[in-house]
């Protein structure tokens, strides 16, 4: 019997069925029913559970894969997306060397401490000013030369246990650590980019003259349900690198 209509399922309003399925899957992802890197049930399995056809589950999963919440692997299964992979490790790093070289960046941790959030930090994070945050300052170096100075603020409610030691010990990307050590998976981010004259302190750390032009990249990272989980203010040297972007 084809064409049962779109409001057959119990919960949900007039949304198409596959949208409702999508929501149910996202809820399970958010609840941690399946952890990053793990395989989720097969399309047929989910179809049985939800009482819909395989095609409907497939469409829901398709959209979630397009949003990078899930990852499909033919013949293997569908997996919860993770930052702990060589392949997707640079999805959020838009810095590229002008000469096209792919050299890895080195991290140097400068600070890691608990602070009270200024209004300028609290607002983008959805906190109240004075709320506890973890502040991290670090340098990224290419070929031993400093390229990026990052200031990072994280809500202490989520990242209270973060210490310099744990940060220094971790091998993979920061976002990989967030998801494996704190259960916080970064989904997408918004950035505001400006050019500014290097303040004295930043200039010294980056090895440029005070007042030299730097790229200012302010990033707000969001997890499931658009919840902000990170504020990052980066200063980029762009004398041998650039920020690459694609307009689609």
Q: Which residues bind DNA (CB under 7 A)?
A: 1-8, 14, 16-19, 40, 42-45, 51-56, 58-59, 72-78
Q: Least Å distance between CB 83 and a copy of itself? A: 12
Q: What's the Cα-to-Cα distance from 146 to each of 70, 117, 169, 193, rounded to whole Å? A: 35, 27, 21, 19
- SS3 assignment, position 146: strand
Q: Least Å distance between CB 9 and a copy of itself? A: 22
Residue whose structure tokens are 């002008």: 98
Q: Which residues contact 141 (CB under 8 A, 6 or more apart)?
A: 105, 106, 107, 108, 147
Torsion angles phi and psi, residue 214, rounded to 5: -130, 155
- SS3 assignment, position 65: helix
Nearer to DNA, 53 or 106 (CB): 53
Nearer to a copy of itself, 89 or 132 (CB): 89
Torsion angles phi and psi, residue 152, rounded to 5: -125, 135
Nearer to a copy of itself, 96 or 205 (CB): 96
68 binds, among DNA, a copy of itself, none (CB under 5 to 8 A by kind): a copy of itself
Q: What's the Cα-to-Cα distance from 14 to each of 9, 18, 52, 56, rounded to whole Å? A: 10, 11, 16, 16
Residues present in the chain in total: 248
Q: What is the per-residue binding string for a copy of itself in 40-79, x denoting contact by CB under 8 A?
A: ---------------------------xx-----------
Are the C-beta atoms of residues 43 and 32 closer than 8 Å to each other? Answer: no
Q: What is the per-residue binding string for a copy of itself in 94-133, x denoting contact by CB under 8 A?
A: x-x-------------------------------------
223 binds, among DNA, a copy of itself, none (CB under 5 to 8 A by kind): none
- Residue 247 lies near a copy of itself (rule: CB under 8 A): yes
> Among 100, 194, 225, 226, which residue interacts with a copy of itself (rule: CB under 8 A)?
194
What's the CA gap between 248 and 126, in Å, rounded?
30
Q: Which residues pair with 40 in a beta bridge?
A: 78
Chain residues 212-231 in contact with a copy of itself, contact rule CB under 8 A? 212-216, 219
Nearer to DNA, 30 or 54 (CB): 54
């Amino acid at each position: 019997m084809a064409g049962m209509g779109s409001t057959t399922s119990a919960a949900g309003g007039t949304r198409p069925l596959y949208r409702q399925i999508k929501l149910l899957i996202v809820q399970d992802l958010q609840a941690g029913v399946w952890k990053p890197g793990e395989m989720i049930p097969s399309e047929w399995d989910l179809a049985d559970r939800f009482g819909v056809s395989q095609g409907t589950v497939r469409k829901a999963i398709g959209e979630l894969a397009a949003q990078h919440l899930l990852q499909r692997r033919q013949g293997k299964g569908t997996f919860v997306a993770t930052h702990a992979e060589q392949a997707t490790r640079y999805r959020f790093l838009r810095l590229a060397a002008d000469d096209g070289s792919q050299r890895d960046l080195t991290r140097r941790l400068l600070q890691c401490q608990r602070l009270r959030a200024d209004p300028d930090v609290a607002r983008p994070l959805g906190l109240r000013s004075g709320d506890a945050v973890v502040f991290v300052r670090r340098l990224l170096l290419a070929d031993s030369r400093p390229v990026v100075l990052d200031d990072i603020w994280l809500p202490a409610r989520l990242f209270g246990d973060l210490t310099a030691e744990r940060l220094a010990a971790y091998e993979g990307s920061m976002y990989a650590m967030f998801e494996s050590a704190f259960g916080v998976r970064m989904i997408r981010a918004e950035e505001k980019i400006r050019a500014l004259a290097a303040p004295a302190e930043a200039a010294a750390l980056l090895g440029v003259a005070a007042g030299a032009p730097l790229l200012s990249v302010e990033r707000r990272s969001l997890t499931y349900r658009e919840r902000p989980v990170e504020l990052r203010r980066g200063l980029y040297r762009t004398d041998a690198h650039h920020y690459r972007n694609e307009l689609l």
